[in-house]
Amino acid sequence: MSNPTYPLLDRIDSPADLRAMPESELPLLADELRSYLIETIGRVGGHFAGNLGTIELTLALHYVYDTPDDRLVWDVGHQTYPHKILTGRRQQIHTIRQHGGLAPFPKRAESPYDTFGVGHSSTSVSAALGMALAARNQGQSRRVAAIIGDGAMTAGMAYEALNHAGHLRADMLVILNDNEMSISPNVGGLNNYLTRLLSSQSFTSAREGSKRVLDHLPPVREFARRAEEHIKGMVTPGTLFEEMGFHYFGPVDGHDLPTLVQTLRNLRQRSGPTFLHIVTRKGKGYSWAEEDPVKYHGVSAFDPHTGKMTPKSGGVSYTRVFSDWICDMAARDERLVGITPAMREGSGLVEFEQRFPERYHDTSIAEQHAVTLAAGMACDGVKPVVAIYSTFLQRAYDQVVHDVAVQNLPVLFAIDRAGLVGADGPTHAGSFDVAMLRCLPNFTVMAPADENECRLMLSTGFEIDGPAAVRYPRGGGPGIEVASGLQTLPVGKAEVRRHGHNLAILAFGTMVTPATEIAESLNATLVNMRFIKPLDEACVLEIARSHGAILTVEESAIAGGAGEAVSECLAAHGLTCPLAHVGLPDRFIEHGSREDQLEDAGLTAADILAAANRLLAQCPENHGKRAETPAWRG
């Protein structure tokens, strides 16, 4: 049933419906869409402030461009809820980020209007250029526009794509959504007027006609070109983009719908690479989000009337453990520096920046630079700690190999969000860091079973004279009290938590907790492996000799994972026994709650128990003697 409070929005089932509306109704539709988002996300949570800031832009784009034939390529995608609502998914928007519901970011399999799947930043210009070149090769006249934020413009990949697009003279539009007001203090009526004028067909025709006349007078044309460049440089910040081969327009008010629509109409007719700079405000139209866009970037359910969010349950998070540890270690060792690629809040470095501002470095969205920066510091006696999400570490893998591992430099990687991450889905799941790092010579890789062990491992990794990584999950652990000291663990030593019969469960990191109950129920041996690399081979070999079967359990990809390290160890020593691995399967796990994802991946306690019982059925008869406490016990 239609909601009577949204009379215009109720009429929109597709962008074709939007384009059938008179332009005069667009501002009222923007108001309705903004109210609908506040109400809906207030109930279910999700990305919020960025979406409020792109409402007018989204309306203008779908109003002017012939989507989905024309291609709109969004960067990151956490600002695309208005896009999803206008492209036939309004009735499902309350399911966003939930198991079986709408994806949190654009996803090609979800809608033909989602032209490119995203989640990470700074990919839009490259993807849009690829689509523009495909249209050129196929003789198609469709238009392509990339929408990229000022944060995403801090990554080198965006400039690589801009440089290439300018060189190829590709027919595409890049829209810079500047929502920090950092390079655009001069937005206002004059700039809006200038942009409408400069982007108009009449001005473009006059400009190109003048060029043809001046072609016969080379010195005069060069003088005119320089004059145009310097005059535009005085009133706009677009000189950089002009030098890269783009025709720059802006900045303009990104909430002024008439200006946006007219400007986009003008620019859609242009050929060649074109750059439009708009300025928006995160959280536009919702005072609490405008005042604190970081807090309201991604929200849990909240009261739309008060802005008060539903408090999150749980104890001390692993991120908090890291935050406390790095401050304590920095106070003890002045060589420590903290580095993050634009994840100060998410990685737990807010307090560190406040207490040690000279030793804190935010590289912006530049993971490759962050890693090589750390390597350079490590060359000259500094002890860098790189705080980074597992999924973002993927973007700097070459630097991890070439600049850190090859040179055996003492860089500690504090890898947050390792394993499944819930609602953000496969683009943000830390599934592959174990496989990436385990194969690298010189690396030490650790996975804590609880909060206190995480602190111990961070201290251990910091003291190692070589590259080290501690991978820990999003959220909290089993609730173990964290000691205040800076003690370390013996490198490469596992911890036997329970001695039992026949079956041995070798658990890594987060899987120690669910494996504990299973080991009790089956009277199995349980080993908290702690170190993925170097593996405690003495422990593994003794377990293989004294038990009928081995089950490895990890919250990372089975392919190349910790379990395979156990298999390799046994094979290298000529030992065989029934052996099985439980971990993330060879597919991407879709978004949902963490519990939904564990079930999807086959990593619940019931799944681990079933795998253990299958192994027990394969055990040789009479091989159930209780293992004695061996010398290798950690």
Q: Which residues are catalytic?
A: 282, 367, 395
Distance of CA 450 to the CA centre of its chain: 24
Cα distance between residue 459 and residue 32, in whole Å? 53
Among 550, 538, 433, 427, smallest CA distance to 490 is for: 538
Could you give the dihedral angle defined by the CA atoms of residues 422, 426, 432 and 433, in that order, rounded to the nearest 10 degrees? Answer: -60
Cα distance between residue 415 and residue 443, in whole Å? 14
- Do the Cβ atoms of 392 and 157 come closer than 8 Å? no
DSSP string, 143-181: -EEEEEETTGGGSHHHHHHHHHHHHHT-SEEEEEEE-S-
Token output for 242 = 């002009």
CA angle 540, 541, 542 (to 5 degrees): 95
- Do the Cβ atoms of 448 and 436 come closer than 8 Å? no
Cα distance between residue 577 and residue 441, in whole Å? 28
- Do the Cβ atoms of 387 and 343 come closer than 8 Å? yes
Token output for 140 = 């198609």
* 494 to 419, 446, 479: CA distances (angstroms): 21, 11, 21
- Do the Cβ atoms of 337 and 359 come closer than 8 Å? yes
3-state helix, strand, coil in the chain (%, to 5): 45, 15, 40
- Do the Cβ atoms of 329 and 462 come closer than 8 Å? yes
- Do the Cβ atoms of 255 and 26 come closer than 8 Å? no
What is the SS3 string spanning 368-389? HHHHHHHHHHHHCCCEEEEEEE
The sign one gets for the Cα dihedral 304, 306, 307, 311 is: negative
Q: E strands along 403-472, which residues?
A: 412-416, 444-446, 468-471
DSSP state of 115: -
Among 563, 547, 468, 535, smallest CA distance to 502 is for: 547
20-25 — which CB contacts under 8 Å span 24+ positions? 23/63, 23/258, 23/261
Cβ partners under 8 Å of residue 536, min gap 6: 492, 493, 494, 529, 530, 632, 634
134-138 — which CB contacts under 8 Å span 24+ positions? 135/171, 136/170, 136/171
What is the SS3 string spanning 263-319? HHHHHHCCCCEEEEEEECCCCCCCHHHHHCCCCCCEECCECCCCCCECCCCCCCEHH
